[in-house]
Amino acid sequence: MKVLVTGAAGFIGYHMSEALLKKGYKVIGIDSMNPYYDVNLKKCRLEKLKQNKDFSFYHLNLEDNQAILNFGKEHSDISYIIHLAAQAGVRYSLEAPFSYAQANLIGHLAMLELCRSLPHLKHFVYASSSSVYGANEKLPFAVEDRVDTPISLYAATKKSAELMTYSYSHLFKIPATGLRYFTVYGPWGRPDMSAFIFTKAILNDQEMPVFNHGDMRRNFTYVDDVVNGTIACMENAALIHKDLSVTHKLYNIGNNRSEKLMDFIHLIEEVLGKKAKIRFEGMQPGDVKETIAHIKDSTDDFGFKPETSIKQGVPNFVNWYRDYYNV
């Protein structure tokens, strides 16, 4: 069976594609290879994927609706889509707002149009984000909670994508599921995320800013857990959408443990055998102090079970980093 993975050269898309290939799926990857961060890292991930004969790659921009529809005509036998391509990052959305509107709204709409055109599509699964919970004070964050107050444009585009998907799913009976990912980390990670930034700074003896004076908590979620949860969701379309009057659903995909940011940093220090030079700063605009994921529904409906603690995951990340950069 054929699965289309968008953002296949990205951090999660790379792991997703590898796991799908291991399970015997044929994977088609799409990515625009945008230069938001080091394109070499994306090329290296892609090179590894291309070693598998069941992986094929299309260098396409989702914003090019016509190119995406033409692609769909060539691949009308696609069974599943895992849509991960997006302009990610909360902080960058203050600097480059239009790239968020292009990738996360126009690009997302092009994916919905593609879904509409595919005759054999069983399930459209797409990445949303815990950032949609904004400054909600009710914890843990549950999908039933109101999320009408995004505090970054990134969050606003992710919430908008959920709404657009709802309407397409309703109008055209497309089984669709949005997964709100919580802080994902692991090998081949994104250079703009905390695990990467802290590891790099400590190794280079650089001072590193820690926001809200270190008083933050996150559901650091290991990438393999995210991938396993997403694939389980994808495969359980019939179960999730058994009542076809509800063709769109949302779930949280996050670790069930919320960790103190400083504990995460101390673990990196421990693995590196080196102390961080920390510069404590105030809260960043658009950032939230604490996230806790309510995951009972994801566990009940498709068996999502985060298994990797930061004690296992952080060494895996740090060892990959040292190996990849030869430091």
Ligand X SMILES: NC(=O)c1ccc[n+]([C@@H]2O[C@H](COP(=O)([O-])OP(=O)(O)OC[C@H]3O[C@@H](n4cnc5c(N)ncnc54)[C@H](O)[C@@H]3O)[C@@H](O)[C@H]2O)c1
Active site (catalytic) residues: 154
| Beta pairing class for 259-260 and 217-218 | antiparallel
140 preceded by a cis bond (ω within 30 of 0): yes
Helical H segments across the chain, by residue range: 11-22, 39-50, 65-74, 97-100, 107-117, 153-172, 194-203, 223-235, 237-240, 261-272, 296-302, 310-325
The residue from 4, 13, 268, 291 that contacts ligand X (CB under 6 A) is 13
Smallest gap, in angstroms, from Cβ of residue 46 to ligand X? Answer: 9
Smaller CB separation from ligand X, 190 or 217: 190
Q: Does 127 bind ligand X (CB under 6 A)?
A: yes
Question: Please, what is the minimum distance in Å from the beta carbon of residue 174 to ligand X?
Answer: 18
Residue nearer to ligand X on the CB measure, 7 or 229: 7
Stretch that binds ligand X, among 55-63, 138-146, 210-218, 275-283 (CB under 6 A): 55-63
CA 91 remoteness from chain centre: 16
The stretch near ligand X (CB under 6 A) out of 48-56, 80-88, 135-143, 308-316 is 80-88
Near ligand X by CB under 6 A, which window of 78-86, 162-170, 274-282, 298-306? 78-86
Buried b (16+ CB within 10 A) or exposed e, 10-22: bbbbbbbbbbbbe
Q: CA 14, CA 9: separation in Å to the nearest integer?
A: 5
Site for ligand X in 188-227 (CB under 6 A): 190
3-state secondary structure of 297: helix
Which amino acid, residue 170? H
Size of site (CB under 6 A) for ligand X: 28
63 makes contact with ligand X (CB under 6 A): yes
Q: Which is nearer to ligand X, 119 or 320 (CB)?
A: 320
Q: Work out whether 11 is an interface residue with ligand X (CB under 6 A).
A: yes
In the set 55, 71, 101, 107, which binds ligand X (CB under 6 A)? 107
Residue with the two structure tokens 């779930």: 251
Q: Does 10 bind ligand X (CB under 6 A)?
A: yes
Best CA proximity match to 88, nearest among 21, 12, 139, 145: 12
Task: Report the residue from 4, 5, 81, 85 that binds ligand X according to the rule CB under 6 A.
Answer: 85
CA pair distance 230, 240, nearest whole angstrom: 13
Residues at the interface with ligand X (CB under 6 A)? 7, 9-13, 30-34, 42, 61-63, 84-88, 103, 107, 127, 129, 181, 183-184, 190
